[in-house]
Structures are given as C-alpha cells and as structure tokens.
Amino acid sequence: MPVLVYIIVAVAAYLLGSIPTGFLVAKIKGIDIRSVGSGNIGATNAMRVLGKPAGIFVLLMDAAKGFLAVYLAIMMARRFYWNDPELQTLQVIAGVGAVLGHNYTCWLKFKGGKGIATTAGVYLALAPWPLLVAFVVFILAVLFTRYISVGSISAAVALPFAVLIMQPKDLLLGIVTVVLGALAIYKHKSNIKRLMAGTENRLGKKREATK
C-alpha cells in the first residue's frame, strides 16, 4: 500500500478528531468552556457546565469521531486495496490520528480534551470486546469511588491488558493501546493532582472543578 495512503488517512483522521465538539456546543450557548469548570473541552466538563443533555451529546459526538475515523478509512481503502494485509495498520493509524486530533486540536492552539470518549469510539471499531472490559472497569471504579477521573484512568490501564490478552496476535494494536493508555493517564495529570489534594469533584457533587 502506498505511503501516500497512510499520510492521507492520518491527516484526515486527525482533522476529524480535531473537531472540538465540547467547545462548539458551549460556544452556541455563549460560553467559552475553556474558562469554566475544569477548563477541559471534553464530555465530563461539558456535562458539569452545560448540563446532562449537552454533556451526553458531546460524549456521543466525541466517540463518533473515533469510530468514524477508523470506519471511513477502512471503507475507503477497501475500494482500492481489498484484502491487503496492511488494512489493519491503516485502521490503527486512523484511530491514533483521531485521538491525537481530539487531544491536540489545531483549532484551539493544539489544546484539547483527554481522549477517553474518542478512544472508546476508536476501539468500538478496532477491538469491541476489550473495550467492553475497559467499560466495565470504568463503571465499577466510578461506582466505588464516585470519581469520573478514577474511572477513566482505570479504564486506560485496563484496556491495554484486555487487548493484549484477548487479541494477542494483534501486536501493533497492543503496542499502540499501551501508548494511548499512557497518553490518557498523562492527560489526567491535573485530576491526579486534585485527587491527591482531596479537591477533585465527586460524581453528583455540585462544586466547580479547580484547574
């Protein structure tokens, strides 16, 4: 498969992932989401600042970016490279591009979200069963601690293990998942600091997040 195909898919996936859904939804309401709550453009802050309907919409759209990046890339490539063994590599590149686009969107000076929802969308297309394991871990962690951030970090740890165990032959996917999991944890560094300081917002608690 020509290198140009990989480049086109990577750029297209990045641009799709870079659509700042939370920022745009908040902007429609006359709010700069970067200046309120935790300052993050992701679904958790959108839900806290804009309410549950808007937050759920942002969550679904952010996940859709990841899923569509992988799905559309593979559908387009198959028209020209059907049965090419490198199609899976193309999928992974599309997934990584979408997550990087969300986390470092070019439209907001390369500052974006934390990538949890977009990564979930990517793995819904690439590895749905490992994603289900990570989702269960997320739910259990949130129920036990009442912290969305703890659930997200726990899922970021669980997903690479699930992929490596459930899809051991997909070595590239396993390696990339480890890297994306580490990136997700890194993007939660401010949450980790607040958790250690005891100032992180608990689920359902009416309190403005601290930057």
Place of tokens 């690479």: 160
- The pLDDT of residue 208: 44
pLDDT score recorded for residue 210: 38
How many Å from the N-terminal Cα to the C-terminal Cα in the chain?
45
pLDDT for 3 equals 85
- pTM tops 0.85: yes
Domain boundaries, the chain: 3-197
Q: Tell me the average pLDDT across 183-201.
A: 95
- pLDDT of 96 > 90? The answer is yes
Q: Please, is 146 exposed, middle or buried when counting C-beta atoms within 10 Å of its C-beta (0-12, 13-18, 19+)?
A: middle
- Name the band, by pLDDT with cuts 50, 70 and 90, for residue 29: very high
Measured distance CA(191)–CA(196) in Å, rounded: 9
- Asked if residue 88 lies in contact with residue 14, where contact means CB atoms within 8 angstroms, the answer is no
Burial bucket for residue 190 (CB in 10 Å: 0-12, 13-18, 19+): middle
Q: How big is the chain, counted in residues?
A: 211
pLDDT for res 81 = 67
pLDDT given for residue 205 in this prediction: 63
For the cut 50, the answer to whether the pLDDT of residue 24 exceeds it is: yes
Q: What is the token pair recorded at 102?
A: 């969300």
Which long-range contacts link 8-12 to residues 24+ away (Cβ below 8 Å)?
9/73, 9/76, 9/77, 9/90, 9/93, 9/94, 9/97, 10/93, 10/94, 10/96, 10/97, 11/97, 12/69, 12/72, 12/73, 12/94, 12/97
Q: Please state, in angstroms and as integers, the Cα–Cα distance from residue 27 to each residue in 20, 38, 105, 168, following that order.
A: 10, 16, 16, 43
| Other residues' Cβ atoms within 10 Å of the Cβ of residue 143 | 10
Average of per-residue pLDDT values in the chain: 92
Least confident of 81-90, 94-103, 115-124, 202-211: 202-211
Measured in whole angstroms, the distance separating CA 128 from the mean position of its chain's CA atoms is 14
Tokens of 23: 């920022």
The predicted model gives 29-57 an average pLDDT of: 94
d(CA 44, CA 92): 26
The DSSP code for 106 is G
